[in-house]
Amino acid sequence: MPIEKIDHELCIGCGICQDSCSLDVIYMDESGKAYARYPEDCVACYSCEKDCPAEAINVSPQRGRPVPHPW
């Protein structure tokens, strides 16, 4: 699972990570905090980690699913 941690204490519930995830891995829970609903689909693109203003997301570089190439 490439998303190692989403720190709920740091998460401000802005939803930017959910919007930046092109594979719909991240969702917001009933308390408005981010969580990885489908962590096995994460390809470790770092969009969520890079875009998070609270730095609440940690992505592991070693365990991402390979991104399929169109050729």
Task: Locate the domains of the chain by residue range.
Answer: 3-59
Predicted TM-score (pTM) of the model is 0.80
Q: Which of 1-5, 12-16, 50-54 has the lowest mean pLDDT?
A: 1-5
Extract the runs of DSSP E, i.e. beta strands, from the chain: 3-6, 26-28, 34-36, 57-59
Q: Which CATH architecture has domain 3-59?
A: 2-Layer Sandwich (3.30)
User: Which band of pLDDT confidence, cut at 50, 70 and 90, is reported for residue 63?
Assistant: low
Looking at per-residue confidence, does 65 or 51 come out higher? Answer: 51
Tokens representing 27 are 């969702």
List pLDDT tens digits, range 18-58.
999 999 999 999 999 999 999 888 988 999 999 999 999 99
How distant is the alpha carbon of residue 11 from its chain centre?
12
